[in-house]
Amino acid sequence: EVEVPWWTDAVVYQIYPRSFADSDGDGIGDLEGIRSRLDHLQQLGVDVVWLSPIYRSPQVDNGYDISDYQSIDPLFGTLEQFDRLLAEMHERGIKLVMDLVVNHTSDRHAWFEESRSSLDNPKRDWYLWRDGYDGREPNLWRSVFSGPAWELDETTGQYYLHIFAREQPDLNWESPSLRAAVYAMMNWWLDRGVDGFRMDVINVIAKVQDDLVGDSTSASMGPQIHDYLQEMHREVFAGRTADLITVGEMPGATVEEAELFTDQARGELDMVFQFEHVGLDHGPRTKFDNVPLSLVDLKASLARWQDGLADRGWNSLYFGNHDQPRSVSRFGDDTEWRVESATMLAGILHLHRGTPYVYQGDEIGMTNAGFTSLDQYQDLESLNWYAEEVGRGASPAAVLDSLAFRSRDNARTPMQWDATPLAGFTTGDPWLAITPNHSEINVVDDRARGDASVFEFYRRLIALRHESAVVAQGRFELLEAEHPTLYAFTRTLGASRLLVTGNFSGEVLSLDGLDPAVFGVAGPVVIGNRVDARAATPLRPWEFRVVELS
């Protein structure tokens, strides 16, 4: 038997701490809140929790702007509470992965305050400072959160680069002392017992220095990225015996690049978050332009990633996170067929080869927020986009419509634990409005539904990955690539072969006319999202079914 890494049959659950559970009534989730909900995670059966940032931060970007990497923001708790949470998770057999945000810091980080203080400060080159070019910004890069990616700093008369908010200056990874400081910080957390890192926009750390001045208009990923990741691997991970996991968030990464990043022999990362499939419904100008998603394109994209990483490397699998709309609202039907489509989507995702990521709330089929006025939004990206678009003459109503399907706040509304007025999330004033549908969509009600519980279906999917080698390891083959509503593929390992089918529509889907040697096989149903599932029968609306072929 081939030795495979432990995370090939693991499932990761992402917690967005400010929206998970609030223990002290300030309206913001916290570490003690998470600790009080560990039963939920253990019953679901997840192996790993990834915590979005909890470090000290001015919270301009909800913690992705860090002012001290080695302390906990008082909003979330204390280091002692963190240690207790970690210990209790470990007692329950759950690993904890931290968010590592080292493309940038907060502008309030001591490193940046030193760096900006003078041209010859020893930390000057820890950030990316440039003179203006032709009386304007050094180059034409735009910030992801609107406006130019450069800010003039009065103290020294130079500009600093910020790919994200003005309050998130980019670090200069060309500096060896900066890199050493980052590795020291990572080692400090691993020594404390954490089990790995999810690395925020890690491919963005390598800038092509020649592009930083002049007319280049879009940020580019430098080839040094592989050197940085290999050095990080040597300095942080290589000497450790613990079972760690690393996942790099990489907007724009191609399959070919991902194969290099995740080939175990190269010593870089275990897996990456790629963005291709979550960009298919974005307009060419901006993600806020909605383009109808074609299932044919979605299948083709995910299949290319399955094939590209079949022999070397490894996929991470996700349909949602704290930056994306809710998956049931985006890819399913969050009204009439909410439960069926949420479970079908989960089934299709989890039956791919790779490590599945469950975003908090997806396990009960939470939906988009349904906000209709600007004052309901908190996310700086949404607020900046609104101001920019309306400033260009767009109609406020149209921009609000685009926020209603694309704003990151859709996935950030508080976790819906029960039907009480504050959803069991807080006793205070929630930082972001609770979705009114929490009176029907919540953990207590969902779990009371028996066979129709979304949570119960996720639990079975996760258990299946743990038990079934073909689900964890089997080779993927896409079927019926051109079918507009059928998602079908096989997974094969040795003599064991599964047929996976999902109906991406609210209509009955007949399998007549499809290859009878596959779709006509009356094998046992391994898992399905509808009661009384039988192989080789038409798929009911949003039905998901896995059949054993041999």
Using the rule CB under 6 A, is 201 a contact of ligand TEU? yes
**Residue least distant from ligand TEU (Cβ):** 64
Using the rule CB under 6 A, is 147 a contact of ligand TEU? no
Using the rule CB under 6 A, is 276 a contact of ligand TEU? no
Using the rule CB under 6 A, is 287 a contact of ligand TEU? yes
- Beta-bridged to residue 136, according to DSSP, are 133
Distance in Å, CB of 105 to ligand TEU, minimum = 10
Toward ligand TEU, which CB reaches closer, 251 or 370?
Answer: 251
Counting residues that bind ligand TEU (by CB under 6 A) gives: 12
What is the C-alpha to C-alpha distance for residues 488 and 477, in angstroms, rounded to an integer?
Answer: 9
Toward ligand TEU, which CB reaches closer, 274 or 501?
Answer: 274
DSSP letter (8 states) at residue 25: S
Toward ligand TEU, which CB reaches closer, 219 or 526?
Answer: 219
Q: Which of 436, 454, 434 is nearest to 332 (CA)?
A: 454
Distance in Å, CB of 212 to ligand TEU, minimum = 19
Using the rule CB under 6 A, is 101 a contact of ligand TEU? yes
Toward ligand TEU, which CB reaches closer, 431 or 457?
Answer: 431
| E strands, 304-408, in order | 316-317, 355-359
* CA-to-CA dists, residue 158 to 76, 116, 140, 366, 436, angstroms: 36, 9, 16, 46, 48
Among 150, 164, 458, 489, binds ligand TEU (CB under 6 A): 164
Using the rule CB under 6 A, is 171 a contact of ligand TEU? no
Using the rule CB under 6 A, is 58 a contact of ligand TEU? no
- Beta-bridged to residue 548, according to DSSP, are 498
Toward ligand TEU, which CB reaches closer, 144 or 472?
Answer: 144
Angle at 63 between CA 276 and CA 245, to 5 degrees: 55
Q: Which of 327, 370, 329 is nearest to 347 (CA)?
A: 327
Site for ligand TEU in 352-381 (CB under 6 A): 381
Q: Which of 22, 200, 446, 456 is catalytic?
A: 200
Q: Is 191 a catalytic residue?
A: no
What is the C-alpha to C-alpha distance for residues 62 and 55, in angstroms, rounded to an integer?
Answer: 10
DSSP letter (8 states) at residue 315: B
Toward ligand TEU, which CB reaches closer, 163 or 346?
Answer: 163
Q: Which of 249, 333, 340, 389 is catalytic?
A: 249
Write the CB contacts of 54 (distance below 8 Å, at least 6 apart in sequence). Answer: 17, 31, 63, 72, 73, 76, 77, 82
Toward ligand TEU, which CB reaches closer, 200 or 231?
Answer: 200
Q: Is 215 a catalytic residue?
A: no
- Beta-bridged to residue 96, according to DSSP, are 49
Q: Which of 322, 100, 324 is nearest to 198 (CA)?
A: 100
Using the rule CB under 6 A, is 200 a contact of ligand TEU? yes
CA R_g for the chain: 23
Q: Which of 370, 371, 389, 353 is nearest to 476 (CA)?
A: 353
Toward ligand TEU, which CB reaches closer, 384 or 473?
Answer: 384
- Identity of the residue numbered 430: P
Site for ligand TEU in 60-89 (CB under 6 A): 61, 64
Using the rule CB under 6 A, is 411 a contact of ligand TEU? no
Distance in Å, CB of 273 to ligand TEU, minimum = 9
Distance in Å, CB of 360 to ligand TEU, minimum = 14
Q: How many helices (H) and strands (E) does the chain have?
A: 16, 18
Among 5, 147, 193, 251, binds ligand TEU (CB under 6 A): 251
Write the CB contacts of 313 (distance below 8 Å, at least 6 apart in sequence). Answer: 258, 259, 260, 261, 262, 263, 271
319 to 348: interface string for ligand TEU, x by CB under 6 A: ---xx-------------------------
Among 85, 144, 186, 535, binds ligand TEU (CB under 6 A): 144
Tell me which residues are annotated as active site. 200, 249
User: Contact residues for ligand TEU (CB under 6 A)?
Assistant: 61, 64, 101, 144, 164, 200-201, 251, 287, 322-323, 381
